[in-house]
Amino acid sequence: MQFQLLATKGHARAGLLTLPHGTVETPVFMPVGTLGSVKAMVASELEAIGFPIILNNAFHVYLRPGADVIAEAGGLHRFQNWKRPILTDSGGFQVFSLAKLRKVTDEGVHFQSPIDGSKHFFTPESVIALEETLGPDIAMVLDDVVANPATYDEAALAMERSVDWAARAAAMRSRADQAVFGIVQGGLHEELRRRSAQATVAVGFDGYAIGGLSVGEPPEEMYPMVEVCRAELPVDRPRYLMGVGTPQDLRAGVARGVDMFDCVLPTRLARHHVAVTNEGNLNLMNARFKRDFTPLEEGCGCTTCQGYTRAYLHHLSKCGEISGARLLTYHNLYFYSELMRELREEILGD
């Protein structure tokens, strides 16, 4: 992996991230393909929109279809016909969300599958081995995530455990062609965030993620934590804000020096009949769109806006047609791609 900074404006950065399966222009938004599929989309559509990288989740593809199946297929890229870079999340947040189905210890995480109840055990070492089998361009280490708000002691325990796990994961690495990112934790406590960032950088990774945010706290509490982490992270490595994805949050994150983002929001909103536009979110179930024969967004170049009206999308939504979710997903992802392109151009153009 190589990361080159091309321009800065304040703390905002524009760069090039070179990976085995291609070059990624930053800042970048990564569509979430949890199970090896960005919901309602196929690879060619994501390429047509212009996404240079997507996210898969190691936890979920470990459960289904299994690492052995993906290895037999030739790795994640061949399995899902995606020829550009892939980042795999380790599953720390997914394990956290299992609540009563998991038990976290210093050694690792015991959990039951939410699919069939089978018992599993993840360690920092086993997750890195799993991700090396899956073959993404970037692998995330296993971390311990706590809900916000968390007490100082709760956040400190999870932070210290995450640092220990990061060191164990780094020692396990064996693939020179796969980048590995460490994850900064610490809840909403500045001191813990600072200590976590310093300790994770001391371990040494190809890039650094800011985790444990956008899990219940308002933006005015999240943004200062991003700033604390940025101040401690190296300038010459990519910075990734995990799971954060409203347009407002993307702008705020870029302004605070973040290079990479992911979130399920644009695809999830589409499945709930909501289009993301510059005038705000539009719920296409609303009766006011029944005879609105304009596109979702005037001037938008996406396939949806070029060929379909709000009235038609309202009709598809009301009837529960799968094509409605597909068309809205395409538009929402196009909107996010264009937003990141515009932010990058603003930075490059000073």
Q: What is the pLDDT of residue 148?
A: 83
Long-range interactions of 273-276: CB distance < 8 A, separation 24+:
273/317, 273/324, 273/325, 273/328, 274/328, 275/313, 275/328, 275/331, 275/332, 276/247, 276/331, 276/332, 276/335, 276/336
Q: In order of start, what are the domains of the chain with their CATH numbers?
A: 2-262 (3.20.20.105), 264-350 (no CATH)
The stretch 289-318 carries a mean pLDDT of: 98
Q: What is the pLDDT of residue 98?
A: 80
- Tens of pLDDT, residue by residue over 42-98, are 999 999 999 999 999 999 999 999 999 999 999 999 999 999 999 999 987 777 778
Asked if the model's pLDDT at residue 180 lies above 90, the reply is yes
Asked if the model's pLDDT at residue 282 lies above 90, the reply is yes
Which residues, including other chains, have CB under 8 Å from residue 67's CB and lie 6 or more apart? 61, 130, 133, 134
Catalytic residues: 89, 262
Report the C-alpha gap between 101 and 111 in whole angstroms. 5
Q: Provide the mean pLDDT of the chain.
A: 96
Q: What is the pLDDT of residue 218?
A: 93
In percent, the amount of the chain with pLDDT more than 70 equals 100
Cα four-point dihedral sign 266, 65, 52, 350: positive
Cross-sheet strand order for the sheet of 2-9: 2-9, 12-19, 22-26
**Quick one: residue 228, left, alpha or beta (phi over 0 = left, psi -120 to 50 = alpha)?**
alpha
Q: Is 13 helix (H, G, I), strand (E, B) or coil?
A: strand
Report the C-alpha gap between 321 and 285 in whole angstroms. 12
- Tens of pLDDT, residue by residue over 294-304, are 999 999 999 99
Asked if the model's pLDDT at residue 237 lies above 90, the reply is yes
pTM of the model: 0.97
Asked if the model's pLDDT at residue 100 lies above 90, the reply is no
Q: What is the pLDDT of residue 1?
A: 97
Asked if the model's pLDDT at residue 147 lies above 90, the reply is no
Asked if the model's pLDDT at residue 163 lies above 90, the reply is yes
Q: What is the pLDDT of residue 215?
A: 87
